[in-house]
Amino acid sequence: MVEFNNLLAIADKLLGPEGCPWDKEQTFFSLQPYLLEETHELIEAIDLQDGSKIAEELGDVFYALVFVAKLGEKEGSFQLAEALDLVCEKLKRRHPHVFGGIVAKTKEEIIKNWEQIKKNEFKERKSAIDGVPAAMPALARAQKIAHKIGRAEKRKTSVDWESEEELGEALWKILEKADAKGWNAEDVLRRTISRKEGEFREREKTPEIGS
Where do the structural domains in the chain lie, given as residue ranges? 2-78, 84-123, 132-155+164-211
Judge whether residue 210 has pLDDT over 70. no
Least confident interval from 69-73, 116-120, 159-163, 173-177 = 116-120
**The pTM is what?**
0.73
Q: 171 with 165: CB under 8 angstroms?
A: no
DSSP 88-151: HHHHHHH-HHHHSS----SHHHHHHHHHHHHHHHTTT--STTTT--TTS-HHHHHHHHHHHHHH
Sign of the CA dihedral 67, 68, 71, 77?
A: negative
89-98 confidence digits (pLDDT tens): 999 998 999 9
Rounded to whole angstroms, how far apart are CA atoms 102 and 113? 9
Per the CB < 8 A criterion, the answer to whether 185 and 133 are in contact is no
Spatial CB neighbours of 27, under 8 Å, sequence gap ≥ 6:
71
- Whether 78 and 70 have beta carbons less than 8 Å apart is answered as no
Q: With bands split at pLDDT 50, 70 and 90, how would you rate the model's confidence at 112?
A: confident
For residue 2, the Cα-to-chain-centroid distance in whole angstroms is 29
CATH number of the domain located at residue range(s) 2-78 in this protein: 1.10.287.1080
pLDDT in tens, 165-182: 999 999 999 999 999 999
Q: Nearest-5° angle of CA 124, CA 130, CA 132? A: 130
Is residue 158 pLDDT above 90, yes or no? no
pLDDT, one tens digit per residue, over 51-65 is: 999 999 999 999 999
Angle of the 164-181 helix axis to the 185-203 helix axis, nearest 10: 110
How many angstroms separate the CA atoms of 210 and 152, rounded? Answer: 9
- Which pLDDT belongs to residue 29? 94
